[in-house]
Amino acid sequence: MRPLKVAVLGCGSVGSQVVRLLLEQAGDLAARVGAPIELAGVAVRRLDAPRDVDVPPDLLTTDAQGLVARDDVDVVVEVIGGIEPARGLILSALENGASVVTANKALLAEDGATLFEAAEKAGRDLYYEAAVAGAIPILRPLRESLAGDRVTKVMGIVNGTTNYILDKMDTQGSGFDEALAEAQELGYAEADPTADVEGFDAAAKAAILASLAFHSRVTASDVHREGISEVTAADVASAQAMGSVVKLLAIAELRSVAGGDDAVSARVHPVMIPRSHPLASVREAFNAVFVESEAAGQLMFYGRGAGGSPTASAVLGDLVTVARNVVAGTKGAGESAYADRAMLPMGETITRYHVSLDVADKAGVLAAVATAFADHGVSIQTVRQEGRDADAQLVVVSHEATDAQLAATVEALRGMDIVRDVTSVMRVEGELA
């Protein structure tokens, strides 16, 4: 069998590890693919930039477009990230007859449709396991292992930075700013942490997970997004008092709609989950994705969600699959969007709230608060009254209601004289103690 030629676009923390693994494991990869894998070239911005890995200098090029246009390239690995030039290069590669492996969550979540259609038209593979949860095999299980089942919910800790920050707030009692500063110092958060802490990164991954789980096209703009910058030490303390923990979750859920087909709710926001939930014990910058499906029940996938070497593992796994397909003269299953489900607006999504209130210590406070919930059609699961006098606190956990009903209830509570302050509002998943 002739050697397969691989072009790598980008040689940052992921790209350099992809190159390293390709070179170090050449023998094993050849045996697993059924043909040698050769590096055709590595496109970089600057030839003389410092790199983690020694790339043979004659393979480096600044002409990415020229590299993907070469007619001897079988597979293009895109690990540049961002929208352009990545999109243009991937489209050129596919048009030119190469299969593509990418880790580009932002591009897939914004404009996956264009890429999938180009791959379909070209009869080539487009694989992207590394785009969600780094090293953790989660897209392939959704695409293939669960293809005979009906997935109903996916909940993931898919952003290591925010999990690190929330974990520190939980274990050290620190506030958001302090935990963020620590994360930045240790390299878990970037100097401009917006993409992580405001949930943009997780929202892109939620869109990709929702698309695969529900066989529909879901983009980042379909995902309701709230970050963690407003999570306070008081929220975390409230969670601890409930035997729970605050996590930033990417949630993709199938929900029945009266008189219609099931619709998809895709959202990213902080959530209180009980400590007994498998996701609660995901510490530090680790990632995990929890899946519920009709026949399989509950599954969880856990591992490293970022980092050059873990992400490169996922890229290489895809590369072996794509290369095997090239050798066999075939391609894998393409996009599956046949179900074409509608999106459920956040306001219509069914959630549960945990609300902590500073209240006046007067007779009738509990009745008044309960009435505010009832007026919005929200029933209460538990109420806990704590402290007396100036410290009187009410902690309410609601039953399920639409998010709009719950948000309106909180608005009404804020306007009540007897409510001095709404100290914590947090959505809840799972059964709190």
d(CA 105, CA 78): 11
Q: Is 370 in the site for its own copies (CB under 8 A)?
A: no
Pairing relation of β-strands 4-9 and 37-43?
A: parallel
Q: CA 378 to CA 207: how far, in whole Å?
A: 29
User: What minimum distance in Å lies between the beta carbon of 320 and its own copies?
Assistant: 4
The 202-241 site mask, x for binding its own copies (CB under 8 A), equals -------------x--------------------------
Applying CB under 8 A, the span of 170-178, 188-196, 249-257, 288-296 interacting with its own copies comes to 288-296
Residue 333 touching its own copies (CB under 8 A): yes
Would you count residue 54 as binding its own copies (CB under 8 A)?
no
Element (H, E) at 395: strand 393-398
SS3 content of the chain, % helix, strand, coil (to 5): 40, 25, 35
Closest C-alpha to 73, from 15, 1, 2:
2
Kindly tell me which of 1 and 31 has the beta carbon lying closer to its own copies.
31
CB of 16 to its own copies, least distance (A): 12
Q: Is 303 in the site for its own copies (CB under 8 A)?
A: yes
Q: Is 362 a catalytic residue?
A: no
Rg of the chain over all Cα atoms, to the nearest angstrom: 24
**Toward its own copies, which CB reaches closer, 51 or 324?**
324
Of positions 51, 70, 153, 331, contacts its own copies by CB under 8 A: 331
Q: Which residues contact 230 (CB under 8 A, 6 or more apart)?
A: 176
Tell me the C-alpha to C-alpha distance, in Å, between residue 139 and each of 131, 198, 279, 350: 9, 24, 18, 26
| 140 counts as binding its own copies under rule CB under 8 A | yes
Catalytic residue among 205, 247, 331, 362: 205
Quickly count: other Cβ atoms within 10 Å of residue 342's Cβ: 12
Instruction: Identify the residue among 267, 304, 354, 376 touching its own copies (CB under 8 A).
Output: 304
Cβ 195 to its own copies, closest distance in Å? 23
User: Can you name the residues that pair with 88 across neighbouring β-strands?
Assistant: none
Q: Find, among 182, 202, 172, the residue nearest to 288 by Cα.
A: 202
Among 54, 72, 144, 284, binds its own copies (CB under 8 A): 144
> Taking CB under 8 A as the rule, does residue 129 contact its own copies?
yes
Closest contact distance (angstroms) between CB of 125 and its own copies is 12
Q: Where are the beta strands (DSSP E) in 93-210?
A: 99-102, 126-127, 151-157
Identified binder of its own copies from the candidate list 57, 187, 329, 415, rule CB under 8 A: 329
Distances (CA, A) of 407 to 76, 268, 347, 356: 47, 16, 8, 14
Residue 261 as a binder of its own copies (CB under 8 A): the answer is: no
Residue with tokens 């980042």: 220
Total residues at interface with its own copies (CB under 8 A) = 56
Residue in the block written with tokens 């510490």: 283
- Candidate residues 191, 258, 295, 367; the one interacting with its own copies per rule CB under 8 A: 295
Footprint of its own copies (CB under 8 A): 17, 21, 25, 28-29, 31-32, 129, 135-137, 140-141, 144-150, 215, 278, 281, 293, 295-304, 307, 309-310, 312-321, 324, 328-331, 333, 336, 338-339
Q: Which residues are catalytic?
A: 205
